[in-house]
């Protein structure tokens, strides 16, 4: 039975002790006792699957535009800060018609045929990383594996020369870190610096690509430069900021998917044994990792009009936090939701959101997760942790910074 005391005074800006390590008892209490929970600043937190589905699918009532919210958060005064400019221009924090136009251009480079063509390259990349790990005899499952895969995949999509990919991960971590509910000054400063440095790099990359275009069916940067919807192309600002978005959207969440999956399989030996015996289950196994330990735990919307939820009326302008991690453990949607079941079917999780903002790169993330987890497990079936895992202390994105392991 969920403890109602866990709900009293709960606020994402003042997390209780132990929450980062295990938020799920709090999530269960929220679903049971306060599924529409008002936090200290008046923002409401939703934790039931059915409520998140409703919000995701009503983009007219529940807007993704963060102009007002981020104006306050990123201290916009005389001139918009780099973080404000980025997060209010990127695909994920915009409504139609801008969202529709930008999404169509990006999605045009992520067709099923283009994604299928990536598979051989991802297999080769994963095998190179596993060869290097075998030579060492041990591995950090994050630094040496999970984080290395999406950086290479996105670097290929954008056509970033391999010798210039070193800063990409740090830029992404700094920019996404500024989306946490609490924003320390040092984190804000690092985020602004990362946006500025990334934009300067992209400006030269775009200039080079305009002079020597790639294949728009495979090269997203060329597609963004040349792509049109209704005769309209992306503005220079939209082009650069959405290149940053593509890295951020595809890097952190996929790193966490792979890292969380490898960690879960050290804790659930029965699941590991089943995947080894039935490797074709890996597609379902990836979906269960996404549900059980959602890479992205939180989303946000703002109401454009008055609305009712949970028997309560709320005014236009109400800010709403969607607790994806809680909805993905909702017993009303998932039988025995706290069991890690790699053959779970159906599995209507919300790790990639739903509605018009469903993740545009989810097929790429699934492909990376399936290849990475499947080939790692087949190559090193007896791997084990070898040291203390270091979990990221962020609440929005759930994953690890370090995960040392022996290969068996």
**pLDDT score recorded for residue 343:** 98
**pLDDT score recorded for residue 211:** 93
The answer on pLDDT for 218 being more than 90 is no
Q: DSSP alpha helices (H): ranges in 42-184?
A: 49-56, 67-73, 82-87, 98-107, 112-136, 148-158, 168-177
Prediction pTM value? 0.95
Confidence of residue 195 (pLDDT cuts 50, 70, 90): very high
Domains and CATH numbers, the chain: 31-406 (1.10.630.10)
Q: Please tell me the distance from the alpha carbon of residue 290 to that of residue 368, in angstroms, as a whole number.
A: 13
**pLDDT score recorded for residue 381:** 98
Peptide bond into 346 cis (omega under 30): yes
Mean per-residue pLDDT for 352-380? 97
The answer on pLDDT for 111 being more than 90 is no
Please check whether residue 259 is in contact with residue 286, taking contact to mean a CB–CB distance below 8 angstroms. no
Mean per-residue pLDDT for 302-324? 96
139, containing H or E segment: strand 138-140
**pLDDT score recorded for residue 232:** 75
- Hey, what are 97's tokens? 């018609």
Tell me: the pLDDT tens digits for 145-184?
A: 999 999 999 998 888 999 999 999 999 999 999 999 999 9
Tell me: the pLDDT tens digits for 329-361?
A: 999 999 999 999 999 999 999 999 999 999 999
321, containing H or E segment: strand 319-323
Closest CA to 111 of 225, 251, 240, 223: 223
Confidence of residue 382 (pLDDT cuts 50, 70, 90): very high
The answer on pLDDT for 229 being more than 70 is no
Give every CB contact of residue 277 below 8 A, 6+ residues apart in sequence: none
Tell me: the pLDDT tens digits for 11-30?
A: 999 999 999 999 999 999 99
Confidence of residue 220 (pLDDT cuts 50, 70, 90): confident
Confidence of residue 247 (pLDDT cuts 50, 70, 90): confident
Closest CA to 289 of 312, 314, 318, 268: 268
The answer on pLDDT for 258 being more than 70 is yes
Q: Please tell me the distance from the alpha carbon of residue 166 to that of residue 98, in angstroms, as a whole number.
A: 31
The answer on pLDDT for 40 being more than 90 is no
Write down how long the chain is. 408
Confidence of residue 248 (pLDDT cuts 50, 70, 90): confident
- Residue 81: φ, ψ to 5°: -75, 160
User: Which tops the pLDDT comparison, 224 or 120?
Assistant: 120
Give every CB contact of residue 223 below 8 A, 6+ residues apart in sequence: 105, 106, 108, 109, 216, 217
Mean per-residue pLDDT for 60-85? 90
């Amino acid at each position: 039975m969920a403890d109602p005391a866990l709900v009293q005074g709960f606020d994402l800006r003042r997390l209780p002790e132990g929450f980062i390590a295990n938020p799920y008892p709090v999530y269960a209490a929220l679903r049971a006792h306060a599924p529409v929970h008002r936090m200290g600043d008046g923002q409401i937190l939703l934790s039931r699957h059915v409520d998140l589905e409703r919000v995701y699918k009503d983009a007219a009532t529940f807007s993704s535009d963060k102009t007002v919210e981020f104006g306050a958060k990123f201290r916009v005064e005389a001139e918009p800060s780099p973080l404000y400019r980025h997060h209010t221009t990127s695909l994920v924090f915009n409504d139609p018609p801008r969202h529709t136009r930008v999404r169509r251009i990006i999605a045009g480079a992520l067709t099923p045929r283009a994604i299928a063509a990536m598979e051989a390259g991802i297999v080769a990349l994963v095998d190179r990383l596993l060869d290097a790990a075998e030579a060492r005899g041990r591995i950090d499952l994050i630094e040496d594996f999970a984080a290395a895969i999406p950086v290479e995949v996105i670097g290929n999509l954008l056509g970033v020369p391999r010798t210039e990919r070193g800063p990409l991960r740090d830029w992404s971590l700094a920019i996404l870190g500024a989306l946490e509910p609490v924003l320390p000054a040092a984190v804000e400063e690092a985020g602004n610096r990362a946006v500025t440095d990334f934009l300067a790099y992209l400006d030269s990359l775009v200039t080079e690509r305009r002079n020597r275009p790639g294949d728009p069916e495979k090269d997203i940067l060329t597609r963004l430069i040349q792509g049109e919807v209704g005769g309209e192309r992306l503005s220079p600002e939209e082009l650069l900021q959405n290149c940053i978005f593509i890295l951020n959207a595809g890097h952190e969440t996929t790193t966490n998917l792979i890292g969380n999956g490898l960690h879960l399989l050290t804790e659930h030996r029965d699941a590991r044994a089943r995947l080894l015996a039935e490797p074709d289950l890996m597609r379902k196994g990836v979906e269960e990792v996404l549900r059980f330990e959602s890479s992205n735990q939180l989303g946000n919307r703002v109401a454009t009009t008055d609305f009712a939820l949970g028997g309560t009326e709320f005014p236009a302008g109400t800010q709403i936090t969607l607790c994806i991690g809680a909805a993905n453990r909702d017993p009303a949607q998932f039988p025995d939701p706290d069991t890690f079941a790699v053959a779970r079917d159906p599995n209507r999780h919300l790790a990639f959101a739903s509605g018009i903002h469903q993740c545009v790169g989810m097929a790429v993330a699934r492909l990376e997760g399936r290849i990475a987890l499947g080939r790692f497990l087949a190559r090193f079936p007896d791997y084990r942790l070898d040291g203390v895992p270091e979990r990221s202390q962020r609440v929005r994105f759930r994953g690890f910074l370090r995960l040392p392991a022996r290969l068996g």
